[in-house]
Structure 1
Amino acid sequence: MKIQRACAVGLAVLAAWAGTASAQPASYPNQTIKLLVGWTAGGATDLLARQLATHMAKQLEQPVVVDNRAGAVGTIAHSEASRAKPDGYTLILATNSTYAIAPHLIKPLSYGPDALAPIALVGTSPLILTVKPTLNVQSVKEVIDLARQQPGRLNYSSGGNGSTSHLASELFKDLTRTSITHIPYKGGGPATLAVASGEVDLGFVDIGVAVPMIRAGRLKAVAVSGSARSPVLPQVPTVEEAGVPRFESATKFALFAPAGTPPAVIERLAEAVRSVQKNDELKDRLRQQGIELVATGPAELRKDAADDLAKWGRLIRERKLSLD
């Protein structure tokens, strides 16, 4: 009888524990979620974050508030996210410049490669090589010719030291054997405005921010950085099409939570992202901004992030790139 009673008590405890565990996902979330963005307002990451926040809030039935913490190639926000309580109420929409490029260029970092838990790869976007309207070039070949004729005279903007636009530009310089001076800005929005205003000559900039300026005649589009033409500007060739073999670069946007966040919460968030990615109206709207929504879960993002970390590391070492 004692054994039977003990077993009964044990089963009751296990049942209660299982009930509590299964109830945890249902109780999450029950308060506002903060979505960190490591870039200034107006850039591609910020634009996507605000769309994502709006639609995730509907799925999760709780507010999702974007909090811009710009600086240091997004690593300030990344560091804050890594220190946050792992309860699912602090997330970060990061770019590959932060989780795959910065670790090779910024040392020491306040966080390691396992400081954040992957949730989902949300989207990708090519950059677009643009020039100021007064620069007398219309093609990649003409940019290269002018840069070679006057080494060091031309300058380019980027979203910051170590940003995707910085690395894309340095790769372009290396493959074309040109000398173009780097002028870093704090985010894709300011970097794009710098070209439009004539403050700098050219730049690989966020396509979503650049398109309205291109259509208004404030920027000239020369080429896109991706492996295929953008449906937003189908008449604009890729850099490789325009005569620079092996050139390809794109910005990736990925959602992370602090390491140690319960798997059930991670899955709840991943499910919300998948629901967002099935929204055809949103997909079309973002496509017009140059962003393609993708559907991957935590495991796929973990592998993709590791692959990108290795890829950019090889490039940085081979090209001997630095923040100097």
Structure 2
Amino acid sequence: MTQATRRALLSGAAGLLAAPAALRAQEPNYPSRPVTVVVPWAAGGSTDAFARVLAGRLSTDLGQGFVIDNRTGANGTIGLTSAARARPDGHTVIVLPNSTYAVAPHLYPLGFEVGKAFAGVGLLVSMPMFMLVGRASPAKTLADYVAMAKQPGAKLTYANSGIGATSHLATEMLLQAAGIEVADVGYRGGGPAIQGVVAGETGMLFMPAAAVMGLMASGDLRALAVASPRRSPLAPEVPTFAEQGYPAVEIIEHIAMLAPAGTPRPILETLNAACRAALTAPDMKPALDRQVVTPEARPLAEWPAYLAAESRRMAEIVHVRNIRIQ
């Protein structure tokens, strides 16, 4: 080992050991007490599971507990509203999916704009969205499915895990792009919707990877396409919609962290740096892999433009497809 290499290794090791102290140094008095992490979805779901992994790491790195507070209902808007009213001192944050921060505001009368009521800590992770059919489905490809839907008298159905879910919007994107109509069968959440397709009660659904990888591996569900710009390394054999002639069908499940508007910039920077350090730490990779998420860990400055673009795109789908809370 050369002297230069030895110095580089020692420097890197020192940086890792010093990381928690360096993060706290950005705002030395923060956090001064436990931080409430509002999760506007039920315990046990993919957002909650990821939030718990991240909260555990932040508790260690920042020296105070990050405590999960599940506040569910109305596509996450109950928890969203609660977090918006919290004191903007960095001791309340919210971890939530894009169905809550970019879709729900176009379906529910919140009384505030997300971009004004919150400051973005940043986009944290993403996961791909698959279009799936059951084992017994005659559709082996997306082209097969579209052809079936266009047959005279076709009575195909899809499982809807919730109005305004990203999986619901992905389905509406496909119906719009392919010029087909498929009947909506409502379910109370992702788990029942998945089981409905596995059991043959309904014929198709879209679902984020975390919920379906095991069933894809067993063959109980078959993926016809992935709604990402590129094939997913989780299932590289599954083509994108763009590859199959439907480039407009593109949607990714994102999870972000927000803080109430007015939270001091140094605290936002501390949280952003801590999240980025946690999500890129080599020893966190196994836990993140189990959650089937891909770290995004984007800089603080990127949030406003991302939120505006994502919200605008979701609003267009809601409008064009006339999606309403019933």
Q: Is the 8 A contact 1:42 1:189 kept in 2?
A: no
Q: In structure 2, how many angstroms separate the alpha carbons of the residues matched to 1:235 and 1:205?
A: 17
Match of 1:180 in 2: 182
Distance 1:67 1:200, change over 3 A: farther
1:241 alignment partner, SS class: helix
Q: In structure 1, how many angstroms separate the alpha carbons of the residues matched to 2:179 and 2:301?
A: 39
Larger radius of gyration: 1
Q: In structure 2, how many angstroms separate the alpha carbons of the residues matched to 1:188 and 1:58?
A: 32
TM-score (norm 1): 0.84
1:27 alignment partner, SS class: coil
Distance 1:311 1:62, change over 3 A: same
Q: In structure 2, how many angstroms separate the alpha carbons of the residues matched to 1:186 and 1:25?
A: 43
Q: Is the 8 A contact 1:39 1:186 kept in 2?
A: no
Q: In structure 1, how many angstroms separate the alpha carbons of the residues matched to 2:271 and 2:111?
A: 26
Q: In structure 1, how many angstroms separate the alpha carbons of the residues matched to 2:28 and 2:43?
A: 33
Unaligned regions of 5+ residues in structure 1, if any? Answer: 1-21
**RMSD (Å), alpha carbons:** 2.4
1:222 aligns with 2:224: yes
How far the C-alpha of 1:286 sits from its partner, in A, is 3.0
Q: Is the 8 A contact 2:169 2:317 kept in 1?
A: no
Match of 1:234 in 2: 236
Match of 1:109 in 2: 110
Equivalences for 1:194-205 in 2 at 5 Å? Answer: 194-205=196-207
1:169 alignment partner, SS class: helix
Q: In structure 1, how many angstroms separate the alpha carbons of the residues matched to 2:291 and 2:242?
A: 22
From 83, 94, 97, give the equivalent of 1:95.
Answer: 97
Distance 1:191 1:42, change over 3 A: farther
Q: In structure 2, how many angstroms separate the alpha carbons of the residues matched to 1:288 and 1:51?
A: 10
1:43 aligns with 2:49: no
Equivalences for 1:21-170 in 2 at 5 Å? Answer: 25-106=27-108, 108-113=109-114, 114-149=116-151, 153-170=155-172
147-156 vs 91-100, which deviates more? 147-156
Unaligned regions of 5+ residues in structure 2, if any? Answer: 1-23
1:243 aligns with 2:240: no
Q: In structure 1, how many angstroms separate the alpha carbons of the residues matched to 2:36 and 2:233?
A: 32
Q: In structure 2, how many angstroms separate the alpha carbons of the residues matched to 1:166 and 1:50?
A: 26
Match of 2:18 in 1: none
Q: In structure 1, how many angstroms separate the alpha carbons of the residues matched to 2:73 and 2:199?
A: 22
Q: In structure 2, how many angstroms separate the alpha carbons of the residues matched to 1:52 and 1:190?
A: 27
Distance 1:323 1:175, change over 3 A: farther
TM-score (norm 2): 0.84
How far the C-alpha of 1:281 sits from its partner, in A, is 4.0
Deviations 1:12-58 (A, max 9, x none): xxxxxxxxxx9993222233222222223343322321221122222
How far the C-alpha of 1:142 sits from its partner, in A, is 1.7
Distance 1:258 1:185, change over 3 A: farther
Equivalences for 1:15-26 in 2 at 5 Å? Answer: 25-26=27-28
Q: In structure 1, how many angstroms separate the alpha carbons of the residues matched to 2:273 and 2:159?
A: 37
Q: How many residues align?
A: 302
Distance 1:120 1:112, change over 3 A: same
% identity of equivalent residues: 35
Distance 1:71 1:143, change over 3 A: farther
1:235 alignment partner, SS class: coil
